[in-house]
């Protein structure tokens, strides 16, 4: 994939994220390079344990202990043209907190891990909006209803006052997507968001993500082990194996002309 410098949103070079355990060092991500281009959907694909989720968590600096980024660059190109190397930021610092939510948001496999059981979904969405945009409660409530509506939650003006446990699996997933979109991020990272859902709900959520991408011209990084999903939504594909990128390119060349034996094996299975 040839890149114009203006088209690049995030350029990842030589990223290494290792886990320092009592048994030794686990090189979960071990020298990964890829580029995320604006307005495109990039799929990071590979089997369980290949390092794809850790790569995503590294971008947001939300790696569980004892993991840490030991090397590499992640250059984020802001709309203003300013370049920031995420690897050099403190995970708890103000600059990184600003990037989370406003520049980059993430949705997870399990909505319960990012939604609070004790607050209404409306409150959780409004909190982010108020924090990032400094607007009034009534204005942020109006915006939250619009977002819930956009992600296909019926009767959004009533549902805004629901708690997570009152929603079905598919609706929880939609609520989490609404929360991720609330601050209008430039990049949405989706980590296997459909794995726990039944086939019909899975298809609906994928359609929703495609629609969001199109309507908002959003950049999406989608993590999956499922090549059916890749065929459905990807513009660009990065294939990972044992903490490294073995192949990357646009979706057509990966599916029709794979070069690496591992990619071929994935496509055959």
Euclidean distance between CA atoms 173 and 184, whole angstroms: 18
Instruction: Please check the confidence at residue 104 and state whether its pLDDT lies above 70.
Output: yes
Residue 143 tokens, joined = 């915006």
Report the number of distinct structural domains present in the chain: 1
pLDDT, averaged across the chain? 91
What are the residue ranges of helices labelled H in the chain? 52-60, 94-98, 121-133, 137-150, 156-159, 169-181, 199-216, 227-233, 251-256, 261-268
Please compute the mean of the pLDDT values over residues 87-100 and round it to a whole number.
91
Distance between CA atoms of residues 164 and 167, nearest Å:
6
Per the structure, the complete domain to which residue 234 belongs is given by 5-268
For 256-261, what is the mean pLDDT? 95
The fraction of the chain above a pLDDT of 90, given in percent, is 72
Q: Report the pLDDT averaged over residues 89-96.
A: 92
Q: Which of 41-55, 88-102, 239-253 has the lowest mean pLDDT?
A: 88-102
pLDDT for 116-167, tens place per residue? Answer: 999 999 999 998 888 888 888 999 999 999 999 999 999 999 999 999 999 9
> Among 14-18, 106-110, 154-158, 240-244, which is the least confidently predicted range?
106-110
What are the C-alpha distances in Å from 76 to residues 79, 132, 200, 215?
10, 19, 36, 23
> CA-CA distance, 36 to 6, in Å (whole number)?
12
pLDDT at position 23, please? 94
Each as own residue / partner, the long-range contacts of residues 192-201 (CB below 8 Å, 24 or more positions apart, any chain) are 192/53, 192/109, 192/223, 192/224, 192/225, 193/107, 193/108, 193/109, 194/229, 195/109, 195/224, 195/226, 196/109, 196/110, 196/169, 197/169, 197/170, 197/173, 198/169, 201/169, 201/170, 201/173
pLDDT of residue 3: 57
Q: Is the pTM of this model over 0.75?
A: yes
Give residue 4's pLDDT: 62
For 198-229, the pLDDT digits (tens) are 888 889 989 999 998 888 889 999 999 999 99
- Residues 6+ positions from 25 with CB-CB distance below 8 Å: 18, 19
| Digit-coded pLDDT (tens) for 168-194 | 888 998 999 999 998 889 999 999 988
Q: Can you give the CATH number for the domain in which 100 is found?
A: 3.40.50.300
Q: Categorize the per-residue pLDDT at 5 as very low, low, confident or very high, splitting at 50, 70 and 90.
A: low
Whether the per-residue pLDDT at 42 is higher than 90: the answer is yes
> Does 1 have pLDDT greater than 60?
no
The pLDDT value given to residue 186: 93
Three-class SS string for 210-232?
HHHHHHHCCEEEEEECCHHHHHH
Instruction: Identify the CA nearest to 220 among candidates 80, 108, 106, 110.
Output: 106
pLDDT for the residue 170:
86
């Amino acid at each position: 994939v040839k890149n114009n410098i203006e088209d690049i949103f995030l350029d990842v070079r030589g990223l290494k994220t290792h886990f320092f355990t009592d048994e030794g060092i686990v090189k979960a991500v071990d020298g990964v390079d890829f580029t995320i281009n604006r307005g495109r959907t990039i799929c990071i694909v590979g089997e369980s344990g290949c390092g794809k989720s850790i790569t995503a968590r590294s971008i947001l600096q939300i790696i569980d202990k004892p993991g840490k980024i030991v090397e590499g660059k992640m250059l984020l190109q802001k709309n203003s043209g300013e370049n920031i190397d995420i690897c050099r930021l403190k995970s708890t610092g103000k600059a990184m907190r600003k990037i989370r939510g406003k520049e980059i948001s993430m949705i997870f496999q399990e909505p319960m891990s990012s939604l609070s059981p004790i607050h209404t979904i409306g409150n959780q969405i409004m909190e982010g909006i108020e924090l990032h945009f400094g607007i009034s409660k009534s204005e942020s409530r109006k915006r939250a209803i619009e977002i819930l509506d956009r992600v296909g939650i019926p009767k959004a003006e009533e549902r805004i006052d629901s708690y997570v446990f009152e929603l079905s699996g598919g609706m929880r997933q939609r609520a989490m997507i609404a929360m991720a979109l609330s601050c209008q991020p430039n990049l949405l990272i989706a980590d296997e968001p459909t794995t726990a859902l039944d086939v019909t709900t899975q298809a609906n959520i994928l359609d929703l993500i495609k629609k969001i991408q199109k309507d908002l011209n959003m950049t999406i990084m989608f993590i999956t082990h499922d090549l059916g999903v890749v065929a459905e939504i990807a513009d660009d594909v990065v294939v990972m194996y044992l903490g490294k990128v073995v192949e990357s390119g646009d979706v057509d060349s990966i599916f029709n002309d794979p070069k690496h034996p591992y990619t071929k094996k994935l496509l055959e299975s």
